[in-house]
Structure 1
């Protein structure tokens, strides 16, 4: 398990180093995740080995949101000033994302003829 955690953090560090060294517009952890994915593709046994560790991390993922929640509470006055705008943006973006997904699904269903297959 220590090796697995070290590998995850090493990939994140390598991604961060690449992102900063090459001035890439992509965050380092995303690049690190891509590096880890390449490692999984090159050595499938590595992916199998990492499963228990990743399940453990995902089981306790809610703990990672505690610092974000504390940050929001500590800036409550700023949230009070911009809260309605943030709420409107959140609701509108969610509605637009759901609409775009539904429209895409219907268009692909019509394109592939999925309705005729069900009847």
Structure 2
């Protein structure tokens, strides 16, 4: 699993470097994820290396929302007069995320659940 985290961190650092050197208008981690996607397509065996680490991160995904929550609470504590804008952006981004997730699941869900041609269905 340590190897998986090292690979994921290396791609994040690669993304940060690409953004810095090329002046790309995207966050470094996003560029790193795109580089990881390209590497996974080019070298399918890389999937076996990063799978365990990625699954472990996904199991604890809710912890990654803590910094955003702390930022919202800190903005409230500072007496910010932008509560309407903050509330609207939180609500809108949550609804947009749910909608996009539902559309992606609807589009790709049948491909994920379906057995490969020539294979039997092993779901229990």
TM-score normalised per structure 1: 0.68
Structure 1 CA distance, aligned partners of 2:79 and 2:61? 25
* Cα-Cα RMSD: 2.8
The unaligned stretches of length 5 or more in structure 1 are 99-119
Structure 1 runs, 4 residues or longer, greater than 6 Å off: none
Do 1:11 and 1:36's aligned partners in 2 also have CA atoms closer than 8 Å?
Answer: yes
Higher RCO, 1 vs 2 (CA within 8 Å, ≥6 residues apart): 2
Comparing both structures, which one devotes a greater share of its residues to helix?
A: 1
TM-score normalised per structure 2: 0.65
**Partner deviation per Cα, 1:48-97 (whole Å, 9 max, x = no partner):** 332221111011011111122122212214575212233345556758xx
The unaligned stretches of length 5 or more in structure 2 are 100-124
Structure 2 CA distance, aligned partners of 1:51 and 1:20? 28
Partner of residue 24, structure 2: 24
Partner of residue 9, structure 2: 9
